[in-house]
Amino acid sequence: MKNDEIQKENTAKNDYNNFINNLSKDLNIEEYKIIICFKKLDLDYKDEYYEKNYSLSKEIVCSFYGLLNSYVRTDLATEELDIQIKRFDEVYIDTAPLIQEDWFLYFIANVSSSLRRRRKKLVILEKTMEELYGIAHNEEKDLDVRLRAKVRPFLIKYLATKGLVKKVDTGSIGIADDHLVALLKKRGKNNNILLITQDRYLSERIVQLGENLNRNIELPHHSLVQRFMSRKFVDDDIVKKVVVCELLKNGDLLRLYICQHCGDSYYDKLFDCGGFVLCSSCYYDIESEKQKKIINKEKEEQNRKKELKEIEEKRDLEKEIITVSKLIKQKQRKMYFVISLILLLILVIIFITL
């Protein structure tokens, strides 16, 4: 029995040694640092859960030390993200995207260069940090969610030291959603803003907020001198956009729009336009209705032309009938004239012979 127990202990020891060794090779980091990471987070790296969930363990270590190289993509995604990020003056991120698997690590790894180059920062509310703490200690949440919520503050702190993240304190009363709405209502008047959130209801609130800001904005009047000095019409520059996106796998973004026809929200690519755009279903219905109207109009036009043609043909027929009738009457007159003349001649002859 003792030999069996010793053998099991040796097997377990080899397993977690291999686990630590594999992490060390993958992340190009010393093994003792990985062990320190687990101990700092009060986690047992010998627990087989971390070996079975290798990608999560890798994510924990990367978040703890700010190791993002393994999450950098080599496809065209970085170029697309750069194009998207440069449109905005401020980029905010909600709680849920931070702990949605490893998607945030992909996102920040691929926008870091763009943020540095454009001297922009990702804005995170202190209220969001409070929510992360609450999730990390909420036993009702899944273990992987709690672990991410526990380790993300280390990554956020690391990113802040690199000048990529700015934390904003908006108070601790209420929920983070209301804090974001109030802050974006204030900041959205003078800035192009991007909010990244997985919360659809919050997204709809923010899109509506952006629409209201643009609807109620008072455009200043610029004199001819001001326009000449600026060399452009600056009124359009006053209108700003408040855009909401959902974070996807590998750090991609999808924007939320609200259909101005049916009022439903939907996700699509991040286009440079307003937030109220027809959904594909309503667009199809409207286009179908337009086509029906065009077809009906064409049919009405064809029927009208047909009626006009029939009327014209009827008129031509009537003219033809009238013409024939006139010819007959003319012939009759001629015949009557000839007969009358003959009779007159006969009478004259008779009168002479007498």
pLDDT at 338: 82
pLDDT at 11: 47
pLDDT at 235: 47
Low-confidence ranges of the chain (pLDDT < 50): 1-3, 6-12, 219, 224, 233-236
Encoding tokens for residue 104? 């945030």
Bridge partners of residue 254, in order along the sequence: 246
pLDDT at 13: 52
pLDDT at 218: 54
Intervals of CATH 3.40.50.1010 along the chain: 71-217+226-278
Instruction: Look up the pTM and report it.
Output: 0.76
Backbone CA torsion sign across 337, 342, 345, 350: negative
pLDDT at 294: 86
Q: Where do runs of H (alpha helix) occur along the chain? A: 2-27, 31-40, 48-52, 54-65, 77-85, 95-98, 103-117, 126-136, 143-161, 176-187, 200-216, 224-230, 235-238, 280-353
pLDDT at 75: 75
pLDDT at 1: 46
Q: Is 71-217+226-278 CATH 3.40.50.1010?
A: yes
pLDDT at 239: 63
Quick one: which of 154, 86, 79 has its CA closest to 117? 86
Locus of tokens 């190009």: 28
pLDDT at 14: 53
Sheet holding 165-168, edge to edge: 165-168, 122-125, 90-93, 193-196, 242-247, 253-258, 265-268
